[in-house]
Amino acid sequence: MLPWGHAHILWMALTFGSFIFASVLIWDLGANYAPLVSGILIGFFLANSVLLVIAGNAAGIAISLCLVAVWCFLRERFVPAGILCLALSLAIKPHDTALVWLYFLLAGGVHRKRAWQTLLATVALSLPAVLWVWHVSPHWIQELNSNILANAAHGAINDPGIASSGGHGVDMLISLQTVVSFFRDDPRIYNPVSYLICAPLLAVWAFVTLRSRLSPKLVWLALAAISALTMLPFYHRLYDVKLLLLTVPACAMLLAEGGLIGRLALVLNSVAFVLTGDLSWGIILGIINHMHVPTTRLSAQMVIAAQAFPVPLILLVLGVFYLWIYVQRCAIHDTPQPV
């Protein structure tokens, strides 16, 4: 609708402007416990989010809208705006933010009400567009499926395997398939194995959320765990990992409580933010490119492993850590206290 120059500047401003705004809101949530640490973590995360602008992917806007919605729901302020933001986020990139919506649905109480309202808003926003596309292109589902399969074929841009033409640069694939495919580059193997690893973790998270009583502190742990685990079962790239901002309030809360768990949370969050940072990977890949690695098949595989392993593995460790704390706290919280 607009000339390319104007549209391109407006899109970049909207992408990074919304992400900065959402980051300030997440800092507001973490500032209740550790304002300085929250600010440092978020500031570092922002500085390592250049890829959002460079790639121009809609993940920047979708994730920002999701973070705004979380703030609105948990602060109980501007709730209609939060419902609209989360609905738009789900419509734009459901595989990034659907599990955050699922948390509110499973948590019960007023959160479940917000989830149902969001779902209705999502349908209302999406259905006219879907019907219009169906009218102008009746075979769009088959064409979309063909496009996805072509891009995920062996050696294609979305192939998580070693031979991928676009999976291991700065804009890398980060799902667990990139690790499993290193040992067996066959989708009949790496997809089921990835699902078998992630499914029990997600099932435990959902079961505990459904059975536990609402508590402000448990919310942070639940959202922290799911923000990391969301990235692992299915296709995601490095710009999608900006959802990890939801780990900051949980990290700040545990750190404010003191003890080994708080220090461990800070260490894991810091390592995760470094290993998922755009500038960090720009530096790491620059170092790898300037290394004189022998041109053998094994050395080439080791270089790819050095690029493909760190992000999925730190996401898995971070997700399991917060899930473990979440399960423990839910068990304590739901234990009947003696009168």
User: Tokens in use for 145?
Assistant: 């499926």
Neighbour count for residue 146 (Cβ, 10 Å): 11
DSSP 337: P
Mean pLDDT of 32-39: 95
Compute the distance between CA of residue 51 and CA of residue 173 in angstroms, rounded to an integer.
13
How high is the pLDDT of residue 306? 82
- 82 and 72 in contact (C-beta within 8 Å)? yes
Dihedral of CA atoms 213, 329, 227, 159 in degrees, nearest 10, equals: -120
Higher-confidence position of 297 and 110: 110
pLDDT bin (cut points 50, 70, 90) of residue 333 is low
Question: Looking at the predicted structure, is the pLDDT value of residue 89 above 50?
Answer: yes
Question: Looking at the predicted structure, is the pLDDT value of residue 337 above 50?
Answer: no
CA angle 158, 164, 165 (to 5 degrees): 90
Compute the distance between CA of residue 228 and CA of residue 247 in angstroms, rounded to an integer.
8
Question: Looking at the predicted structure, is the pLDDT value of residue 289 above 80?
Answer: no
3-state secondary structure of 237: strand
Question: Looking at the predicted structure, is the pLDDT value of residue 272 above 90?
Answer: yes
Winning range, highest mean pLDDT, from 232-236, 286-290, 297-301:
232-236
Domain boundaries, the chain: 4-334
- DSSP one-letter string for 30-81: HTTT-HHHHHHHHHHHHHT-THHHHH--THHHHHHHHHHHHHHHHHTSSHHH
Dihedral of CA atoms 178, 182, 184, 189 in degrees, nearest 10, equals: -20
pLDDT bin (cut points 50, 70, 90) of residue 308 is confident
Which residues, in sequence order, are CB contacts of 164 under 8 Å at separation 6+? Answer: 155, 156, 157, 158, 173
Phi, psi dihedral angles at 275 (to 5 degrees): -75, -15
Beta bridge partners of 173: 237
Question: Looking at the predicted structure, is the pLDDT value of residue 95 above 70?
Answer: yes
Chain centroid to Cα 63, Å, comes to 8
Compute the distance between CA of residue 162 and CA of residue 169 in angstroms, rounded to an integer.
12
Compute the distance between CA of residue 96 and CA of residue 57 in angstroms, rounded to an integer.
12
Average pLDDT, the chain: 90
3-state secondary structure of 173: strand
On whether the pTM is more than 0.85, the answer is yes
Compute the distance between CA of residue 85 and CA of residue 98 in angstroms, rounded to an integer.
13
Question: Looking at the predicted structure, is the pLDDT value of residue 55 above 70?
Answer: yes
How high is the pLDDT of residue 334? 59
How high is the pLDDT of residue 66? 97
The b-or-e profile of 154-184 (16+ CB within 10 A means b, else e) is: eebebbbbbebeebbebbbbbbbbbbbbbee
